[in-house]
Structure 1
Amino acid sequence: MNAPRRFEVDVPMMRRRKGGPLEPPLSENDRWHHMQRAQRTTVIRYGVRDAARRAGIPTGSHITVTLHYAPGDNRRRDEDNLVPTLKAACDALARGRNRQWIGLELVPDDTPKYMKKHMPVIHPGKGERRLWLEIEVRP
Structure 2
Amino acid sequence: MSARYEVDVPMMRRRSGGPLEPPLTANQRLHYTQRAQRTAAIRIGVRDEARKAGVPVCQHMTVTLHYRPGDNRRRDADNLVPTLKAACDALARGPRRDWVGLELVPDDTPKYMTKNMPIIHEGTGERRLWIEIEVTRA
TM (norm. structure 1) is: 0.97
Counterpart residue type for residue 11 of structure 2 = M
Aligned partner of 1:94 in structure 2 is: 92
Could you list the runs of 4 or more consecutive aligned residues of structure 1 that deviate by over 3 angstroms after TM superposition?
Answer: none
Alignment of 1:6-45 (within 5 A): 6-45=4-43
TM (norm. structure 2) is: 0.98
Report if the CA contact (8 A) 2:44-2:100 is conserved: no
3-state SS of 2:18 partner: coil
Report if the CA contact (8 A) 1:86-1:120 is conserved: yes
3-state SS of 2:86 partner: helix
Identity of aligned residues (%): 75
Report if the CA contact (8 A) 1:66-1:121 is conserved: yes
**Cα separation, 2, equivalents of 1:18 and 1:59:** 39
Report if the CA contact (8 A) 2:43-2:100 is conserved: no
**Cα separation, 1, equivalents of 2:108 and 2:114:** 8
1:100 Cα deviation after fit: 1.8
Report if the CA contact (8 A) 1:96-1:110 is conserved: no
Equivalent in 109, 115, 119 of residue 121 of structure 1: 119
**Cα separation, 2, equivalents of 1:97 and 1:130:** 29
CA RMSD of aligned residues (A): 0.6
Aligned partner of 2:75 in structure 1 is: 77
Aligned residues: 137
3-state SS of 2:133 partner: strand
**Cα separation, 1, equivalents of 2:43 and 2:97:** 15
Where in structure 1 are there 5+ consecutive unaligned residues?
Answer: none
1:10 Cα deviation after fit: 0.3
Counterpart residue type for residue 94 of structure 2 = G
1:96 Cα deviation after fit: 3.2
3-state SS of 1:113 partner: coil
